[in-house]
Amino acid sequence: MDIARVISKRSSALWAPFLILILLASLPLCAPQYTIILLTTIFMYIVITVSWTMFSGPTGYISLAPAAFFGVGVYTSALLGLVLPLPAIIGIGGLASFCLALFVGALTLRLRGTYFVMFTFGLVELLLHFVLWWEVNITGTTGRVVPTVNNTKVFYFMLIIFVILMFALYTIRGSRFGLALEAIGQNEDAAAHTGVNVTMVKVITFAISAFFMGAAGALMATRWTYIDPKIAFNPLLSFMPVLMAIFGGMGQLYGPIIGAAIFAYLEEFLITRFPYYYMLIFGTIMVIAIVYMPEGLVGLIRRLLKSSTEGRHART
């Protein structure tokens, strides 16, 4: 009987994501446009947060570069939108970010923790101000128009990026590469002396995570129709994944997903009506999450569940 339960549990763990996925994929048939747009935004945040966690979770290096990689994707879309079909643009946007991350990673991943954070944050601001200067002084424009794609198509592509990301994540976790990554996070020196090319593993993971951010950026640009450097390289997009992952809890794979979904919904709800209140709430939750919820929402719920079941056991 125990075995039967284990099997059913395992198969439900396998089938549940598939069911949800099919449900999501069939949504555009019946749901209103508004829901589709909201879900696209939510999945964009999920993609960015999960790919951020892919690198920063196991290694402990806090990257504030997501906005840079996302922005590179956005500009790829703006530059090539008229020339190439959408899948090609998404791929190129991802690759451009991948290459940028290889370069940045090779330069910086030997830096100590805090310096790495500052550097990645500097990267976003540098790109933002450089592109801003370039557009005003060299090309003589401020913003660019991106050819639009219909909402349902954008939604499907975002879903595809998400599925590929999850697939990549699971493949890495189960592989020897993933084992090496985990080892680096726990003791970098020991990993190096056990034959792991520490720098290469870190740089490649950093670049893979950047690929997905770039791809998401290239796709989202088509939904915005008009972009400028301040939209493309919005530093807030660097903080969102950090907050979402910490808030959700990085110990479990679904922690960042839950965190991203909650915040994306909150943002949609608040940002148009009360932008400054939204940012204020954003900051407050960030501080509270860091100080009081070190294991995130998932960790908090687990602890509560555990203490409540323990309480019950104690009583019986």
Partner 1 sequence: MIVRVLDIGIAGLLLGGIYALIAVGLTLQYGVARVLNIAHGEFIMIGAFITWSLYIIFGINPLLSLAICGPAIFTIGFLLYRTLFRRLRISSASPAAFEGSSMLACFGLLFIIQNLAILIWGADIKGYSYLAFPIRFWGQTFAANRLITLGFALAIGLIFYFFLTWSRLGKAIRAAAQDAAAAELMGINIDQVLALCFGFGALMAGLGGTLLSMSYKIQPTMGLEYTVIALIVIVLGGLGSIPGSFIGGLLLGLVGSIVTYIQPGLSLVAYYLLFMLLLLAKPTGILGK
Partner 2 sequence: MPVLEGKGLTKYFGGLVAVSNVDLHVDEGEIVGLIGPNGAGKTTLFNLISGALPLRSGTILFKGQKISGLKPYEICRRGVARTFQSIKVFPDMSALQNVLLGSYFGVSPGMSSMEALREAKEILEFMGLSASSATRARDLTLASQKRLEVARALATKPQLLLIDEMMAGLNPTEVAQAIELVSSIRKNGITIIMIEHVMKAIMNVCERIIVLHHGQKIAEGTPQEIVSSETVIKLYLGERARAAS
Q: What does the binding site for partner 2 look like in residue numbers (CB under 8 A)?
A: 176, 179-180, 182-183, 186-187, 189-198
Other C-beta atoms lying within 10 Å of the C-beta of residue 16: 10
Taking CB under 8 A as the criterion, the residue among 50, 78, 90, 123 binding partner 1 is: 123
**Rounded Cα distance, 211 and 214, in Å:** 5
**Rounded Cα distance, 299 and 249, in Å:** 6
**Rounded Cα distance, 123 and 293, in Å:** 29
Could you tell me if 36 and 155 are in contact, meaning their C-beta atoms sit under 8 angstroms apart? yes
294 contacts partner 1 (rule: CB under 8 A): yes
| Residues in 219-248 that interact with partner 1 by CB under 8 A | 239, 242-243, 246
- In this structure, what are the phi and psi dihedrals at residue 62, rounded to the nearest 5 degrees? -85, 110
Minimum Å gap between C-beta 205 and partner 1 is: 19
Minimum Å gap between C-beta 266 and partner 1 is: 14
107 contacts partner 1 (rule: CB under 8 A): yes
Other C-beta atoms lying within 10 Å of the C-beta of residue 151: 17
Residue 195 touches which of partner 2, partner 1, none (Cβ within 5-8 Å per kind): partner 2
**Rounded Cα distance, 289 and 199, in Å:** 31
Residue 251 touches which of partner 2, partner 1, none (Cβ within 5-8 Å per kind): none
Nearer to partner 1, 145 or 290 (CB): 290
- In this structure, what are the phi and psi dihedrals at residue 228, rounded to the nearest 5 degrees? -140, 170
**Rounded Cα distance, 205 and 295, in Å:** 23
Nearer to partner 2, 175 or 225 (CB): 175
Question: And the tokens for 27?
Answer: 């949504």
75 contacts partner 1 (rule: CB under 8 A): no
Where do the H-state alpha helices sit in 31-150?
Answer: 33-59, 66-80, 86-108, 113-134
Nearer to partner 1, 15 or 277 (CB): 277
**Rounded Cα distance, 255 and 240, in Å:** 14
Total chain residues near partner 1 (CB under 8 A): 38
Nearer to partner 2, 31 or 179 (CB): 179
Could you tell me if 172 and 54 are in contact, meaning their C-beta atoms sit under 8 angstroms apart? yes
The identity of residue 307, as a single letter, is S
Nearer to partner 1, 79 or 285 (CB): 285
251 contacts partner 1 (rule: CB under 8 A): no
Nearer to partner 1, 113 or 174 (CB): 113
Residue 163 touches which of partner 2, partner 1, none (Cβ within 5-8 Å per kind): none
Minimum Å gap between C-beta 104 and partner 1 is: 10
**Rounded Cα distance, 181 and 59, in Å:** 7
Minimum Å gap between C-beta 112 and partner 1 is: 7
| Residues lying near partner 1 in the complex (CB under 8 A) | 60, 62, 107-108, 111-115, 117-119, 122-123, 125-126, 129-130, 133, 136-137, 239, 242-243, 246, 276-277, 279-280, 282-287, 290-291, 294
